[in-house]
Structure 1
Amino acid sequence: MRLTDFRSYPAFDARFEGRIVAIAGENGVGKTNLLEAISLLGPGRGLRGARAGEIGRRTGGIGRPWAAWGRFEGPHGACDIATGTVGEDSPEARRKWRLDGEPLRSGAELADRAAAVWLTPQMDRLFQEGASGRRRFLDRLVWALEPGHAREVAAHETAMSGRNRLLAEGRRDARWLAALEDAMARHAVAAAAARRALVVRLNALLEAGTATGAFPA
């Protein structure tokens, strides 16, 4: 793992090899910043959901271009993933990704090689708020194993938005409405099946007692 001008780190270089890694230190030394950097090497906006222009180390009140790089071992073998805004001077600079030194072609390609799931103290709301938040968290778990799941969820939401707009505008086009509802149903069934399959796998691991170790089930 290497960082350049990432949050509080002018530079960082370390290798993590253990299956379980504990990061310890005084308040403010950059533990969460390091975890955020790792989360940014998978799909999405990371555990803080920060904009790219907010991440660079600040000097003179100005955020610097930043970069994060990691090497992962997985089912497809070793791969290098890099992201950041190096070469972009604008505060509104957009993140770029590279996979094995080449520009990333799609988010699904990245999800095939690395994915991250996190549970933070701020996520206690998962157990306090409604089902939609828990469903989004479950979707992130599914996405880590099934990159195509995100496309099914997004396609369902797009079809549902189109259906709601059609109804709100009072346009009673039966064929258009039927086509949108057919798309909603197909994508919803695929998404629900993927969620159910993951829950079945998690329950089997918990019942076998092989997944949690000393951690309470």
Structure 2
Amino acid sequence: MPLTPALSLSRLILRDFRSYAALEARFAAPVVVITGENGVGKTNLLEAISLLGPGRGLRGARMGDLGRRVGEAPPLPWATSGRFETPIGPFDIGTGTAPDGGPERRAWMLDGVAQKSSTALAERVAAVWLTPQMDRLFQEGASGRRRFLDRLVWALEPAHAREVAAHDHAMAGRNRMLAEGRGDAAWLAALEEQMARHAVAAVAARQALARRLNAVLAGGQATGAFP
């Protein structure tokens, strides 16, 4: 009996994204291979798909750099949307340049309804990718490995994305206060309390995933050279 995937992308629509002025692609097979000459937009297509989940996509690019460029003009506002099929029915996710903000402001849509943040996306879709640029993941700094681990955690614990983002937001506020020489001890203490609370939750989720992966490996459930 063939296995039915829990989640699959059946349609992708792009508008003024990277090298694409407009694109509508439909997918029916469980595995899709994209081929083409260098520079035709294969990685751009994958990046657009990666932005339909939480985070900044497989390139980690600035939002203002994702729009299509025409001549010397600034990048155009961009958008990408996807229809996902699940055993309990389809849903649509969209993201792109916010209509009421600058190029770095991002908007999210779920089934045509605007969302305040990407949290709703994280509860529906999670993606993990391996790219040639990641071949030094286990040789260089720990920050890249943490980001990769976080993407694995998001696939099982959607709230993890919110904990990581809240920690980073509080840390950015704390660092800004210190850089500006503002000595409000109470405000600094409040920010550091937020950082600690969200960091504990994030670390606990990472450790829980590591235990689950170790149990799978110890139980002989992994197949092939890459589990």
Aligned residue among 57, 77, 80 for 1:46 = 57
Letter aligned with residue 9 of structure 1: Y
Quote how far apart the aligned CAs of 1:103 are. 0.4
Higher-helix-fraction structure: 1
State the SS of the aligned residue for 2:90.
strand
Q: Distance in 2 between matches of 1:199 and 1:207?
A: 12
- Farther off after superposition, 79-88 or 49-58: 79-88
Q: Distance in 2 between matches of 1:108 and 1:10?
A: 28
Give CA-to-partner distance per residue, 1:47-89, whole Å, 9 cap, x none: 122233322222233233322110112476421011223857x
CA contact (8 A) 2:17 2:66 kept: yes
User: Is 1:145–2:156 an aligned residue pair?
Assistant: yes
- Farther off after superposition, 29-38 or 56-65: 56-65
CA contact (8 A) 2:173 2:191 kept: no
- Within 5 A, what are the aligned runs for 1:151-162? 151-156=162-167, 158=170
Root-mean-square deviation (CA), in Å? 3.6
User: Is 1:79–2:86 an aligned residue pair?
Assistant: no
Unaligned runs of 5+ in 1: none
State the SS of the aligned residue for 1:127.
coil
User: Is 1:59–2:66 an aligned residue pair?
Assistant: no
Letter aligned with residue 65 of structure 1: P
Q: Distance in 2 between matches of 1:208 and 1:15?
A: 38
- Distance change >3 Å, CA 162–CA 124, structure 1 → 2: same
Q: Distance in 2 between matches of 1:179 and 1:39?
A: 34
Letter aligned with residue 84 of structure 2: F
CA contact (8 A) 2:84 2:92 kept: yes
- Within 5 A, what are the aligned runs for 1:1-217? 1-62=12-73, 63-74=75-86, 77-85=89-97, 92=103, 94-156=105-167, 158=170, 186-207=197-218, 213-214=223-224, 216-217=226-227
Letter aligned with residue 148 of structure 2: F
State the SS of the aligned residue for 1:44.
coil
Q: Distance in 1 between matches of 2:189 and 2:55?
A: 33
State the SS of the aligned residue for 1:115.
coil
Q: Distance in 2 between matches of 1:93 and 1:161?
A: 19
* Seq. identity, %: 65
Q: Distance in 2 between matches of 1:216 and 1:85?
A: 37
CA contact (8 A) 2:62 2:104 kept: no
Letter aligned with residue 83 of structure 2: R
Q: Distance in 2 between matches of 1:69 and 1:183?
A: 34
Letter aligned with residue 30 of structure 2: R
Unaligned runs of 5+ in 2: 1-11
Quote how far apart the aligned CAs of 1:120 are. 1.5
- Distance change >3 Å, CA 135–CA 92, structure 1 → 2: closer
CA contact (8 A) 1:66 1:86 kept: no
